[in-house]
Amino acid sequence: MLNKIGKYELIEEVGRGGMAVVYRAKDSILGRQVALKLLHPYLAEDHQAKIRLESEARAVASLHHPLIPEVYDFSGHDSEHAYIVTEYVDGVTLAKFLKQNAFDLPECALVVFHRIVTALDHAHKTGIVHRDLKPENIMITGDGEIRLMDFGISRVVENPGITSTGQILGSPAYMAPEIVRGQIADEKSDIFACGILIYQMTTGCLPFTGTNPHAVLVKIAETEYEDPEVKKPEIGTRVSRFIRRLLSKNPEDRPQNTSILLKETEALLADSNINSNEIIDLSRKVITRGTECEKKLKPRVINSLIKLTRTEGNSALAHQTINRLLCIAPDNSEVKLLWENIYADDNRFKFKPAIVISSLITITVLIIAIFIFLNRNRTKPDLFRFSLYYPDTQVLFVPQDKDLISTDIADPDADTSYSYVPILVNDATQLAVNSMVPMDKKNNGHKPPVDMKQPVFVKNGTPVMPADPMMESALEREFTIFPFPQGKVKVYLDNKFLGFWGPSPGISSVRIGNGKHAVKLTHPLCYSKTITIPENMKSGRINVRLNWKPARLIVEAPEGSVVAVKTLEGNLKTLPGIPGAPIEVVFPQFWDKSNIRVKVIVASGKFRTKEKNITLMAGRLMKMPFESFD
């Protein structure tokens, strides 16, 4: 075991990674503590790696910033060992801090994130790319300040991602898609790593996970992750959209540089009445006195968001903000009142001088339409085939009528179950859906199809039947769309793609004329669903729960083995299978997350039964090698 390298006495090992070991050491000449990062032997033996290490050491030594440790020394390419000596930072890594602490408010995560990006911005302006940004390379000092470590170390190998033997260098969970594809890391790659970092800091989870590093890289290459707002609704739409932009698959869709990233972070904090000149002090308080600081900050954030909602009136931003307020302050009386006012505005007609002429034309057309309607031979509809929305209705069932809910037959992933869709259950009440009784002469002789159902609603605990749609005619109607899940949902109107669901510039509502129309929603992890809007259905709200596609698992095991998958949550059951063949795990009908925990079992008379708990993702195929059970 090494005790000394040159003039440096090695005191203790403080870290170890895929490229190097970090020691707390002492400079025997100057008598000061330093951090010595010693490259692994297979890199130290590479002459070109030593040359690149020297070049990187000189470049990083040019960085002079209070959030970046100074570089004191490097080995040189003629030394037996390859190492860099830097300022020693006494503290804990952000990785260790996050294991012991959580940011309940995204604002607390954002102020710390701002400090990290500040250090990164200084490096980028000097022409230095980090290439290995992760919590393990961020130190937190005793006074709550951060230090960004290990700049440029991954450039000591030719390929910054994977060696010639296939070993992955650095942490695959923080790599950018372009690095996985073999491209050279640049500033945009660091920005993608920032997206992973803030996702982890706000939700408490990594966006890309897998049973092994290569599985993680596959997900990163396709940017497959659970929407942060679905993962933790408290963070709100604006922060979630900010994170999604950082995690864009195409580097050009991310913020152009870290200076812009800093400004966007400050804009999010400004919404919560946190000014840029108080970020430094607030960041230190969040780290050193987290619970106390968040307790004091939360009322300030709530009051600021309430004020923002009032200012915005009935805009998309107001809807986003009130939805977040309902998550973080559901019992706040002001929040409840704001919510009622906003959704009351949705149904309140606003008279403006600019629309007087168009209103007169509309009235004239309506008079003509009513005259024609009253003088034609009316027949009652066979079935009330539409859905009403009441502002205080907590549960909505979309009926099992194939004219209302249909699936795209051309879509192989379409949902063919025509199951009822529950929306916003407030008291876990299961609604009864009664079959229509065939009509006789008392009902004008009309007999509806036997297989159709009539929807039933609950309003304050009392069943309410829908009104006659013939009395709710309108020439122009607007329907607000509320899907679940909410990330990556595509909206189609009459088979025409409108865009992704979300606030502007996304699609959150559709405006249509009279007549029958179809709104189709798709999600990569769910079955598509089409809602038919009858011609006489009035403006309102469309709540749609998309059903998760099954997860599929292939277990690789020796011939003759018996394979089984046991679900650990939801509908508990054991699914038998055979090695190498897909096992389909169906999600419960009402399931609020895109993954499910299962236990995989492999049994044989030739070896002891093997078991392993894993998490499966809806709509995805996972392959599980037999070696992974060890």
Q: What is the pLDDT at residue 145?
A: 95
240: three-class secondary structure by DSSP: helix
Q: Is 121 exposed, middle or buried (0-12, 13-18, 19+ CB in 10 A)?
A: buried
Main-chain dihedrals φ then ψ at residue 205, nearest 5 degrees: -135, 155
- The edge-to-edge listing of strands for the beta sheet with 462-464 is 393-395, 457-459, 462-464
Of residues 38, 31, 42, the one with CA closest to residue 5: 38
Q: What is the pLDDT at residue 222?
A: 84
439: three-class secondary structure by DSSP: coil
520: amino acid identity, one letter: K
Of residues 493, 478, 484, 480, the one with CA closest to residue 541: 480
Q: What is the pLDDT at residue 281?
A: 96
The domain ranges of the chain are 4-87, 92-288, 292-345, 386-545, 551-629
Q: What is the pLDDT at residue 343?
A: 60
Q: What is the pLDDT at residue 381?
A: 38
CB < 8 Å & 24+ apart, contacts of 443-449:
444/379, 444/380, 446/379, 446/380, 446/382, 447/382, 448/382, 448/383, 449/382, 449/383
Q: Is 577 exposed, middle or buried (0-12, 13-18, 19+ CB in 10 A)?
A: buried
Residue entry with tokens 């179809």:
518
CATH for 551-629, among 3.90.550, 2.60.40, 2.60.120, 1.10.357?
2.60.40
Segment holding 404, helix H or strand E = none
* Cα distance between residue 57 and residue 279, in whole Å: 31
For 437-471, letters b (16+ CB in 10 Å) and e give eeeeeeeeeeebeeebbbbbbbeeeeeeebeebee
Q: Which residues contact 248 (CB under 8 A, 6 or more apart)?
A: 192, 223, 254
Main-chain dihedrals φ then ψ at residue 622, nearest 5 degrees: -115, 135
Q: Write out the CATH class of domain 4-87.
A: alpha beta
State which residues of the chain have pLDDT below 50.
157-169, 347-351, 355, 378-474
Q: What is the pLDDT at residue 537?
A: 82
The CA distances from residue 125 to 61, 129, 139, 218, 258, in Å, are: 14, 9, 22, 31, 9
Are residues 150 and 90 in contact, defined by beta-carbon separation less than 8 angstroms?
no
Are residues 344 and 336 in contact, defined by beta-carbon separation less than 8 angstroms?
no
Are residues 617 and 547 in contact, defined by beta-carbon separation less than 8 angstroms?
no
Are residues 508 and 519 in contact, defined by beta-carbon separation less than 8 angstroms?
no
* Cα distance between residue 381 and residue 439, in whole Å: 12
Fill in the DSSP letter of residue 547: P
Are residues 556 and 587 in contact, defined by beta-carbon separation less than 8 angstroms?
no
Chain centre distance of CA 68: 30
23: three-class secondary structure by DSSP: strand
93: three-class secondary structure by DSSP: strand
DSSP 448-486: --TT-B---EEETTEEEPPPPGGG---SEEEEEEEEES-
* Cα distance between residue 330 and residue 332, in whole Å: 6
Cα angle: 90, vertex 95, 97; to 5 degrees: 65
Are residues 499 and 592 in contact, defined by beta-carbon separation less than 8 angstroms?
no
Chain centre distance of CA 269: 20
CATH for 92-288, among 2.40.30.260, 1.10.510.10, 3.40.190.10, 3.40.50.620?
1.10.510.10
- Numbers of helices and strands, H then E, in the chain: 15, 27
